[in-house]
Chains A and B, each alone.
Chain A
Amino acid sequence: MVALPWHKTSPQEDDRSVGAAQTTRTLLGLLVVVSILSLGTGAAGLSVFDAARDLVSGEGLSVRDRVILMDIRLPRLAMGLMIGAALALSGALMQGLFRNPLADPGIVGVGAGAGLGAVLAIVLAGLLPTGLAVLIGAHLVPVAAFLGGWASTLLLYRVATRGGQTSVATMLLAGIALGALAGALTGMLVYMADDRQLRDLTFWNMGSLAGASWSKLAASLPLILPVLLLSPLLARGLNALALGEAQAAHLGIHVETVKRLAILGVAAAAGAAVAVAGGIGFVGIVVPHLLRLATGPDHRYLLPNAALLGASLLVGADMVARVIVSPAELPIGIVTATMGAPVFLWILLKRRGLGGL
């Protein structure tokens, strides 16, 4: 019989990690540029360069400029970065979990579930004892959205996964049903709401970063920050999961743990995003897809790069939303859907060609 050269050496195989690291650096640069541009964009003609010059020359900012920068543009930028990162990351995590590039919280009903949680919190907050309501006040909506997102992700995974394999058709159809159900329940709650609640609901539902404030940011940060920091720990598990649940377990992955954490991560990121910014679709589809084309599907690079690109993309979309019908604003969801829906259709077409559906 042939003896195998178990200890022989041979030349190096290719590696996309170099390109992925390069992409990370480029995306960080993009993030800085977009952030500076965003700080300089707005209805009040305040240039970020003028402000910087005033600061450097020791004059300090005028009260008006300080308010515009510190209380309006900066929290809006911070929230755009945070929500963008959360949306892209929730998409990438969900696609890894479902082993499918078409999974996105906004499309398969998880966003609607999170929305239902948020609406429930807004409408039922009045029933809470005053002391408790003050205590948990700002956190109530994000937490409720997280719980709604968690329940719907869990339900969807149960329905769409059989024997460790996920059916695309079942996932998309179950997502439609889930979205419709959450939408109907949300509609019922809206019908029951009083005038003050209706006003809150309307503002929440506009899907805009216009209401950004430091307090809103503080309320959702505890949900998003752990996902941003801890998601890289799931990368190896999600890579292995691409082979199917049984084969991931053969590679030494504790599959149940990875699944539970990924579902929690999807729910936390999507829930927080929905709670503070309403429904913003397609960032979670477009960003991971573009990155997979550029540097491959390895989640070790995909997850952090998705957070970076998602942040830049949403801040960019927010600038477009503010500028295009200035001095009015377009809901940012319209901008992201205009960019994202064609990409979604394009993926569908390509997969049809591969017989992947």
Chain B
Amino acid sequence: MLTVQNLTARLSGRTILQGITMSAHAGTLTAIVGPNGSGKTTLLRALTGDLPYGGAASLNGHELNATHPRKMAAIRAVLAQSTHLAFPFTVAEVVRLGLTASVQMHATDLTARALAEVGLAGYGPRDIQTLSGGEQARVHMARVLVQVWEPVTDNGPRWLFLDEPVAALDIGHQLTVMRITRSYADSGGGVVAVMHDLNLSAMFADRIALMLDGSILSQGRPAEVLTDTNLAQTYGCPVRVNAVPEQGPWLVPQATAI
């Protein structure tokens, strides 16, 4: 379980996050949404150990800023918004970077399976620097997957922390990646994803945290959070929220003329 109590974070002397209190359970997918500059990525960086924070935050009972990286790496994997690789690694080599000592056994096998999951079967020998941005993003998704392949181990549930996992992807692969994360949560793992696409968030997330100016404005089930009033307040533009039976809300931004 992820527990965050009154978390604050500062970047270059400026307070970016204030009074963040939230929790996420294993077996669920939590989407963090909000406008540009609302602090979504900063929150994810604080939760993944990149950034010192005030307050308390723990994952499976381990305080985040007091646990050795190796221990954290065994229970959670992190997908960054973008990754630039310094050297011409092959796709398979990049995915294998995600393997920790505990999963070395079926290394080559796991690599191929993870690549197949993200729709890159057979890409193993290719130089990653020659792939398109969206393909590279999916390679890193595969790397993150092999790091915590089994969603639940004897030591408890494992977690995916994803910063805009579908931002670089076409609509088909957006669905592929969202289905993988959904399936991970359904298998008992925890997923926390920073998202821009509200419809995808509504479609796949169990819970949504809506951020504004470094705080969480509203959190709960998608239908509770994604309301006309909340969205107009955070995004500063009129949005009409409709509902699809059994699917939850779907929204359409309203151009002023309509």
Contact = CB atoms under 8 A, between A and B. Distances in A.
Interface of A: 1-6, 8-16, 99-101, 165, 239-240, 242-244, 246-247, 249-255, 292, 296-298, 354
Interface of B: 45, 48-50, 68-74, 77-78, 80, 83-90, 92-93, 97-98, 100, 106, 108-109, 111-113, 115-117, 124-125, 129, 147, 149-151, 179-180, 182-184, 186-187
Which among B85, B116, B149 has the greatest number of chain A C-beta atoms within 10 A? Answer: B85
11 contacts: A1-B179, A1-B186, A2-B182, A10-B112, A12-B109, A100-B86, A249-B69, A251-B147, A252-B74, A254-B68, A297-B87
Given A3-B183, A251-B147, 7 more contacts: A2-B183, A6-B187, A10-B113, A250-B49, A251-B98, A252-B70, A252-B74
A8 B110 CA distance: 9
A8 B147 contact: no
A165 B86 CA distance: 10
Contact of A4 (B68, B87, B112, B117): B117
A308 B185 CA distance: 48
Which one of A5, A6, A16 has the greatest number of beta carbons of chain B within 10 Å? A6
B187 A296 contact: no
Contacts of A11: 112
A239 B84 CA distance: 13
Given A10-B116, A292-B87, A251 B183 contact: no
Given A4-B117, A10-B112, A246-B80, A15 B98 contact: no
Contacts of A5: 113
A99 B88 CA distance: 11
B79 to A, nearest CB: 9
A6 B93 CA distance: 20
Given A247-B80, A249-B49, A10 B109 contact: yes
Given A6-B150, A251-B147, A296-B89, A13 B111 contact: yes
A13 B78 contact: no
A13 B69 contact: no
A16 B96 CA distance: 12
A12 B112 contact: yes
Contact of B97 (A10, A13, A243): A243
A17 to B, nearest CB: 10
Contacts of B186: 1, 3
A15 B92 contact: yes
A5 B77 CA distance: 19
Contacts of B93: 16, 296-298
B89 A12 contact: no
A14 B69 contact: no
B179 A14 contact: no
A239 B151 CA distance: 25
Nearest to A299: B87
Contacts of B87: 99, 101, 242, 292, 297
Contacts of B149: 6
Most A Cβ at <10 Å: residue of B50, B72, B149? B50
Contact of A254 (B69, B100, B125): B69
Contacts of A12: 108-109, 112
B73 A247 contact: no
B88 A242 contact: no
Contacts of B69: 249-255
Nearest to B115: A13
